[in-house]
Amino acid sequence: MPAQAAGLEAEGARLHVTGTLDGESAAAFAEQLAGGQVRTVVFEDSTGGSFEVAEGYAQAIRRAGASTEVRGMCHDACAYAFLSGKEHRFGRGLHVNSLLVPLRTRTTAADIERTLVEFRTPPAMPAAGSAPAPAREPWLPAQGLLFTSTPTFFGRIYNSYWCDGTQGRDPSKCALLSDADPYKLGVLTP
């Protein structure tokens, strides 16, 4: 079954994006943000997609100066676009939020922080006449850093995991990281 294309729904100053970030909805997404009405992009249950498509969504978010929010799952291309927001938060409510930042190898906390800065920084424009940047390696499904937020009676619990891709969509099989607080790393902003 092919992934569902991204659905867009404007709700006042919020633009809800559901489904896989793909080229089909990219132009409409950029147009919505260029209108100046959208202040927050809310990603809901979005997985899959490629780096190239994610970069198009990220550029539109940066140009608009919009904030980003996750409700439910935001994996792969969605995570890249999410991190480009002026501010980025997990949604409130009685649902579990998860953000899977695609990485090919397990790294240290310092490497994680450096990688996340690269995700949030717009790519440099190549000089005229220079060779284009090499294509990025494709993301491996369900592999990377997983940040979760789970509601409890006393507030939310935030955890970070390394997922090697063999666990499928079952985060209980991922390795818990003790040194990867999503707020300290800048994945989430207060």
pLDDT tens digits for range 126-183: 555 555 555 556 667 788 889 999 999 888 899 999 898 888 778 788 999 887 888 8
Q: What's the rounded Cα separation, in Å, for the pair 31 and 63?
A: 11
Residue 147 domain-assigned?
yes
Residue 53 domain-assigned?
yes
Mean pLDDT of 8-17: 96
CATH number at residue 148: 3.90.226
Q: Is 165 left (phi over 0), alpha (psi -120 to 50) or beta?
A: left
Residue 190 domain-assigned?
no
Residue 128 domain-assigned?
no
Unique residue bearing structure tokens 């970030």: 21
Q: What's the rounded Cα separation, in Å, for the pair 58 and 55?
A: 5
Q: Please give the distance of CA 177 from its chain centroid, rounded to a whole number.
A: 19
What is the pLDDT confidence band of residue 1, given thresholds at 50, 70 and 90?
very low
Residue 131 domain-assigned?
no
Query: Domain tally for the chain?
Result: 1
Q: Where are the alpha helices (DSSP H) in 17-170?
A: 23-34, 51-64, 77-83, 109-120
Residue 184 domain-assigned?
no
Residue 186 domain-assigned?
no
Give the amino acid at 29. Answer: F
Give the amino acid at 76. Answer: D
Q: What's the rounded Cα separation, in Å, for the pair 158 and 108?
A: 19
pLDDT of residue 6: 87
138: part of which helix (H) or strand (E)? none
Residue 80 domain-assigned?
yes
Residue 167 is part of which domain span? 7-122+136-177
**29-43, 88-102, 128-142: which has the minimum mean pLDDT?**
128-142
Task: Reply yes or no on whether the pLDDT at 190 is more than 60.
Answer: yes
- What separation in angstroms does the CA of 109 have from each of 23, 146, 177? 33, 13, 9
